[in-house]
Structure 1
């Protein structure tokens, strides 16, 4: 079928467009279109060219997109984020359409009223077992760490840096000083991450980061705060998960100093990520929902 959507989250869209459908990405200036991505199943479409018959269904990801969908086209609302608080009312609460969450934690915490909700967990395009761990350092991926502050654990980075040198990737990381490595294309990012011995996930409150799942697919061991959905994503054998910063600092120091232990944890991380967040179950979940909504 033909699926209309806005290209909002690059890694999520990269997985979604692997499905056996035709994907119509809203072109600039009303969207970002392909944004330079090589996605054979997707093409850019100006919003002005769309009418009810242009697509079979639309997937929208924020409220301002909803009125731009042609009248009469079935709509699915996709929510990527956690609420600011567990009692926050979702913008699509008591809506007659279907709302999709990317984690069970998010579904539990949002108040969606009578809206029908579904959880379709993330799918990850496997970057391959690129892990070498040759550098006794930790990789962190987070966008705008200075602006987002405690939410993404920016205040904890100096504490972790006492246990191992940190390389922080993402938009706006240059503001962190020497540890900031800036934004990278996906292929370059994965190669650089895989050379580091450990992946550090210091995030307190956000939806399950796809960079964490990608790190696990690379074969990286994980040191992470046990917040939001991390407890489900990262099994005990894949690294160290705790809300005790001292325990995490010790775990980071131990894994960085023991390449064999780090590699063994990384093998388990990759096995779990592929089994739980592989493309097959992700795409099948979306296929079922798309068929249901357009029936």
Structure 2
């Protein structure tokens, strides 16, 4: 099957393209948001092919995987008038929690009978108003990075992109108090100047933007994974940390309450409880390693790659039959 999809979410796409199909990924000269092409910091297999808008006009496409509202019009234009959902089978993948007037936020694909709407968490499907559109939930699957955890650095790892701009969504305002419990290493894009923004010493809040090939090893050296996010979809970085064998300390919000099971870390809506858990792991490295091992096992069982690909194969087959 030839599947057209845009490179929108590198980590998610890395798992999706491990399937048995050919994946057509648009590329433009500027490699902008609508033409990023193949990933440069993730390992993607050979069946992921870059295609230009001109090549798409006559390309053999069996299904279009939409991920952003404007892609339906863009696809029709680049595919020579073939419309996703009408002339070609289509699936819309929603990565995000709703925004705006939650929980009454209406999904852009609500009340459509020409495509399937797939959410990545049950929480997201519950909170979006999907109307009468057929909906599915396909939970994340992770390419297993292996049990790399050492935890020899008595610091907490945080992964978040643009923490200053995203602010309360990502729990950035909680980091000053949590940095008193443990020094933080914040990984992600556009994290520069975070310590100054928060008003904390730089040694209590270091930042780095590492390629995926280096990120896993860096995370696994930290004692624990801290997830202070208030409102976003289930972060793949959290699941990757669990696969690495890291214990998790997380806000009990959105889908984190499903992923972080008893014995794998601490969940709470009270920041002071999270701070106590962070201090506990810093004082007790053996307890951190034991909880991390259970976190890895839980992640493998629920968010393994095979289950993810099997779920997608079923939905893709149904959409094209």
Same fold (TM over 0.5): yes
Match of 1:33 in 2: 37
Match of 1:12 in 2: 12
Runs of 4+ displaced beyond 3 Å: none
Q: Is the Cα contact below 8 Å between 1:79 and 1:100 reproduced in 2?
A: yes
* Counterpart among 131, 136, 148 of residue 149 in structure 2: 131
Match of 1:160 in 2: 178
Match of 1:289 in 2: 315
Q: Is the Cα contact below 8 Å between 1:220 and 1:270 reproduced in 2?
A: yes
* 1:182 to partner: Cα distance: 2.5
Alpha-carbon separation, structure 2, partners of 1:121 and 1:52: 33
Q: Relative to structure 2, which stretch is displaced further, 65-74 or 161-170?
A: 65-74
Q: Does residue 153 of structure 2 align to residue 147 of structure 1?
A: no
CA deviation vs aligned residue, 1:213-242 (integer Å, no higher than 9, x gap): 000000000000000001110001001111
Q: Does residue 254 of structure 2 align to residue 237 of structure 1?
A: no
Alpha-carbon separation, structure 1, partners of 2:47 and 2:220: 29
Structure 2 stretches lacking a partner, 5+ long? 196-201
Alpha-carbon separation, structure 2, partners of 1:292 and 1:192: 41
Alpha-carbon separation, structure 1, partners of 2:278 and 2:257: 17
* 1:49 to partner: Cα distance: 1.5
Counterpart secondary structure, 2:315: helix
CA deviation vs aligned residue, 1:103-139 (integer Å, no higher than 9, x gap): 0000000001111100000011111101000001000
Q: Is the Cα contact below 8 Å between 2:14 and 2:43 reproduced in 1?
A: no
Match of 2:133 in 1: 115
Alpha-carbon separation, structure 2, partners of 1:124 and 1:51: 33
Q: Is the Cα contact below 8 Å between 2:3 and 2:63 reproduced in 1?
A: yes
CA deviation vs aligned residue, 1:190-249 (integer Å, no higher than 9, x gap): 111100000000000000000000000000000000000011100010011111111111
Counterpart secondary structure, 1:107: helix
Alpha-carbon separation, structure 1, partners of 2:227 and 2:279: 14
Q: Relative to structure 2, which stretch is displaced further, 64-73 or 278-287?
A: 64-73
TM-score by length of 1: 0.98
Alpha-carbon separation, structure 2, partners of 1:153 and 1:180: 16
Alpha-carbon separation, structure 2, partners of 1:58 and 1:191: 35
Counterpart secondary structure, 1:82: coil
Q: Does residue 91 of structure 2 align to residue 76 of structure 1?
A: yes
Q: Is the Cα contact below 8 Å between 2:10 and 2:39 reproduced in 1?
A: no
**Where do residues 161-240 of structure 1 align in structure 2 (5 Å cutoff)?**
161-177=179-195, 178=202, 179-240=205-266
Structure 1 stretches lacking a partner, 5+ long? none
* 1:51 to partner: Cα distance: 3.8
How many residues matched? 295
In structure 2, the CA distance between the partners of 1:234 and 1:130, relative to structure 1 (3 Å rule), is same
Alpha-carbon separation, structure 2, partners of 1:184 and 1:284: 31
* 1:53 to partner: Cα distance: 5.4
Match of 1:93 in 2: 110
Alpha-carbon separation, structure 2, partners of 1:76 and 1:66: 11
Q: Relative to structure 2, which stretch is displaced further, 43-52 or 224-233?
A: 43-52
The Cα RMSD (Å) is: 1.1
Counterpart secondary structure, 2:263: helix
Match of 1:55 in 2: 61
* 1:180 to partner: Cα distance: 3.7
Alpha-carbon separation, structure 1, partners of 2:189 and 2:74: 29
Q: Is the Cα contact below 8 Å between 1:138 and 1:198 reproduced in 2?
A: yes
TM-score by length of 2: 0.90
